[in-house]
Structure 1
Amino acid sequence: MSESVCNIYPPFSRFWAEALQPMKRPDWTLPNTVSYENMSLKLRCFTALPHTQKTPILVLAPNAGHHLNISEPLISRCLRADVGRGVYVVDWTPPTADSPNRHDSVNDIIRNIANCVGELGNQVHLFTLCQGAWAGAIYAALYPDSVLSYTDAAGPIDFFAGGGKIQAICQSLPMSFYANLVNIGGGVERGEFQLMGFKNLNLYDRYIGDYLELWYAVCNGDEKAIQKWHRFKDWYDQPQNLSGVWYLEVVEKLFKKNLLISGELEIIGRKVDLGQITCPVFLIAGDNDDITPPPQVFNMENYVSTKVVKQLMQGSGHIGVFVKESSLDYWEQAIIGKLDSLDSLAMCKHSAS
């Protein structure tokens, strides 16, 4: 047995000190200002002086029961790679059992995205992450002229493709199960229930593997890895509530019935036709993603009326496609670095029309 493992008592004490350390409440660390807000959201601007000639980036971060600061690595890369371009995030306000936004529907989500786009001059580049993807796709299909490019990173569009653990669970449990969760929460899908569901998808990783990572980091004196472990736990283990109305709508209409793909989804009184999306589309999936299998992302190519660029990130899990350095290198080279040319192309089309 190696000396680092044999000398167990100091690491053991440090391990428990770190594992039992009180969590810090997740929050935004990058400087930002709120440029628009209502009861359902804050539109955060991360660019000090947005260049008016550059179409802004609007990030639809994962609204799946966790703080949206998970998008900060991507935001940082955007700010560094495209200086002056406005970078904005829709920061959804978690509802409570007493707040009006507990009644927000998918219709309200799309209307709120439209309000944000209006605040930004009526045209944006949409960067959608995880569950932000279906909302962005619906918006882009209903308002195609306002979206100059659409990027989906690990977000499900074809919910029946590729199987996966979430799809198996959604198909096996009746809607009454999900409705009961919302009833218990007083009209909201409680973050604790979301967290329990995510953890139970990967029992070993979440209940054993995460703590083995901390143990190895402590034994090796890897302070950087220890701090990384804390950042993840602070974010992952402090969940946020979701509106019970749109949560149940999405479970039934998207996860269970796949209406976005069949063309039967009706939002704001209109059928959602993905074929109306004509802007450039970038699709990014992780080869190790067991939350959103790659086909759920890539199959969007079969339904839009435009050029599609697909990228499978090797060695990447679910959030890795928008937080890992190797993934962000791809974002910078293949997407962020092309926004100026996409802006110019849009201006030429507008002048010709």
Structure 2
Amino acid sequence: MTAPAGDASLEARVRMEVERAIQRSIKGLEYISTGDPAVGLTPKDVIHGRGTLKLYHYRPQSDEVYRVPVMLVMSLVSKPYILDLAPGQSLVEFLVKRGFDVYMIDWGVPRPEDARLRLEDYVLDFIPDCVERVLEDSGEREISLVGYCMGGQLSTMYAALHTGGPLKNLACFTTPVDSDGMVLFKRWLDPRYFDVDRVVDTLGNVPPELIYASFDMLKPAQRVAKNIQLWDNLWNDDFVRSYRLFERWAADQIPFPGECFRQFTKQFMWENRMVRNELEVGGRRVDLGAIRVPFLHVVAEHDHIVPYDSARPLVPLIGSEDKREVMLKGGHVSLVAGGNAIYRLWPQLESWLAERSV
């Protein structure tokens, strides 16, 4: 005599949940006892170093390489390995395997003496220097820049102030340009309550805990929700591995160089100069309309760090005829790394660069 189909189905579900509960306990102990997962594993060489800055060249993995090298530019407050998380979850690895000659700027962790660094140092010195090093190393005369978040801001500033230079293509991900669209950040940095001069004069570099806490406050319940999601999926090795990779990066923020933070707060957040084309770097106005190279801006539909209202004006401000905005599903981080990025952003970037890198 066989059990009714409904009873058999219920029994199977109960068995599955019991098995998952056992696995959660086992995996939970493993989670606590094992160290952080390895990151940034795509083979590379340091071709230039300056202070804390390192310029990486990723070793080619294809016999045929596109002529125009690609240099990745990260934010000043995040470590760059989000773009090279792990084999199979790495934008860098993807591009290298597709035949691109890939370089990356790693800003490093600012030292106390780096609190003096300003936007001028990054836009008029460090980035141009790295561009020249890439061209010398690759033997080419043109370069493509890809900037993520604030790295996109730095890249657009560079492009606007070096219009006669070797830049061939410029791509940005989730790059803010209108601070009015960053409503919560704007409120927290309200000059009536936030004394940026006192913060920088007292602390020098702005501690990463302050930056990390500001991100957390954008979605106060997110950390609790993520912990619940982790518990529900502790039995799933792939989920746990991905979770640990992202959590390691999210918690691994770095200080914001003090003088640059002062500049950024006053000129971008308070005075909103970037969207007005009034931002000045080294006494020179950053006119985004002066950018004429092919331009791509990829934004995330569910980005709570750089909301679309902050990113939307960027493409209209660019002076290029060949310019495009692409909105993809995902958040600020999942846009560039993880399972969704593999099928959404990465192929879009590959296709766009390939057409313009011959």
TM-score (norm 1): 0.84
Q: Does 1:202 align with 2:219?
A: yes
Alignment of 1:48-63 (within 5 A): 48=60, 54-63=67-76
Task: Report if aligned partners of 2:66, 2:101 keep a CA contact under 8 Å in 1.
Answer: no
Residue 113 (structure 1) shift: 0.4
Task: Report if aligned partners of 1:287, 1:313 keep a CA contact under 8 Å in 2.
Answer: yes
Instruction: For 1:322 and 1:251, locate their aligned partners in 2 and report how far apart those are by CA, in whole Å.
Output: 26
> What letter is aligned with 2:226?
D
Q: Does 1:86 align with 2:98?
A: no
1:262 match: secondary structure: coil
Alignment of 1:241-256 (within 5 A): 241-256=255-270
Per the alignment, do residues 167 and 119 of structure 1 end up closer, same or farther by CA in structure 2, a change over 3 Å counting? same
Task: Report if aligned partners of 1:182, 1:190 keep a CA contact under 8 Å in 2.
Answer: no
What's the RMSD between the two structures over aligned residues? 2.7
The one of 9, 34, 40 aligned to 2:46: 34
State the percentage of identical aligned residues.
17
> What letter is aligned with 1:216?
D
Q: Does 1:103 align with 2:119?
A: no
Q: Does 1:149 align with 2:169?
A: yes
Instruction: For 2:21 and 2:289, locate their aligned partners in 1 and report how far apart those are by CA, in whole Å.
Output: 62
Q: 1:347: which partner in 2?
A: none
Residue 171 (structure 1) shift: 3.5
Q: 1:222: which partner in 2?
A: 236
> What letter is aligned with 1:166?
F
Mark the runs of 5 or more structure 2 residues left unpaired by the alignment.
1-9, 85-89, 136-140
The one of 318, 323, 326 aligned to 1:311: 326
The one of 68, 93, 103 aligned to 2:80: 68
Per the alignment, do residues 78 and 142 of structure 1 end up closer, same or farther by CA in structure 2, a change over 3 Å counting? same
Task: Report if aligned partners of 1:254, 1:260 keep a CA contact under 8 Å in 2.
Answer: yes
Instruction: For 2:338 and 2:243, locate their aligned partners in 1 and report how far apart those are by CA, in whole Å.
Output: 15
Higher mean C-alpha deviation, range 11-20 or range 329-338 = 11-20
Number of positions where the alignment pairs a residue of Structure 1 with one of Structure 2: 332
Higher mean C-alpha deviation, range 260-269 or range 167-176 = 167-176
Task: Report if aligned partners of 2:47, 2:56 keep a CA contact under 8 Å in 1.
Answer: yes
Higher mean C-alpha deviation, range 152-161 or range 244-253 = 152-161
Per the alignment, do residues 11 and 132 of structure 1 end up closer, same or farther by CA in structure 2, a change over 3 Å counting? same
Residue by residue over 1:32-91, the C-alpha shift from the partner in whole angstroms, topping out at 9 and shown as x without a partner, is 111111014101111348978711111112332x3210011221221122x1x3211110
Q: 1:336: which partner in 2?
A: 350
Q: 2:3: which partner in 1?
A: none
Q: 1:237: which partner in 2?
A: 251
> What letter is aligned with 1:282?
L
Per the alignment, do residues 68 and 200 of structure 1 end up closer, same or farther by CA in structure 2, a change over 3 Å counting? same
Mark the runs of 5 or more structure 1 residues left unpaired by the alignment.
345-353
Residue by residue over 1:86-139, the C-alpha shift from the partner in whole angstroms, topping out at 9 and shown as x without a partner, is 211110021133xx3222111111110010011122632111111111111100
Instruction: For 1:300 and 1:189, locate their aligned partners in 2 and report how far apart those are by CA, in whole Å.
Output: 27
Computing the radius of gyration from Cα coordinates, the structure with the larger value is 2
2:327 match: secondary structure: strand
> What letter is aligned with 2:151?
G
